[in-house]
Amino acid sequence: MRKAIYPGSFDPVTNGHMDIIKRASKLFDKLFVAVLVNTSKKPMFSVEDRVDFLKRSAENVPNVEIISFKGLLVDLARECSACAIVKGLRAISDFEYEFQMSLVNQKLNPEVDTVFLNTSAENMFLSSSLIKEIGSLGGDFAQFLPNEIQDDVKRRILT
């Protein structure tokens, strides 16, 4: 069974994230979508909320499992018996950072490869940060989020 991990903060999950999840799920027998617990960052949504948002958003993708993790991604890959890490790319700047991380991960765990998936053109501009900024300024960001979580995200951002 070929397993992969798609890591991220998903604060909140966007249609761009969901595009990568759906496409990556077709490439692997099992896809772990792993929500990063990073104590140095101050996310808007708790880890529990982000996991819940992803579970609801990916409910109809049968081979996806939503998890959270702390620590090194390569250690999680080893624990999950994953052969690959999936990374979504929006722009060249994403690639530069992710390429460097993939080289480090390859050194730390040579058994795990990194697979880069380009984001679909309609989602190239999307980021969780952009959604939170649009919302904080009173803009309508619902079209950029999975339907299953729009109301919850709106409620949190607008309060």
Which positions are annotated as active-site residues?
A: 17, 41, 90, 128
Q: Which stretch of DSSP H or E encloses residue 38?
A: none
Q: How many other C-beta atoms can be found within 10 angstroms of the C-beta atom of residue 128?
A: 23
CA dihedral 136→40→71→65, nearest 10 degrees, is: -10
Show the tokens assigned to 88: 């979504």
d(CA 89, CA 87): 6
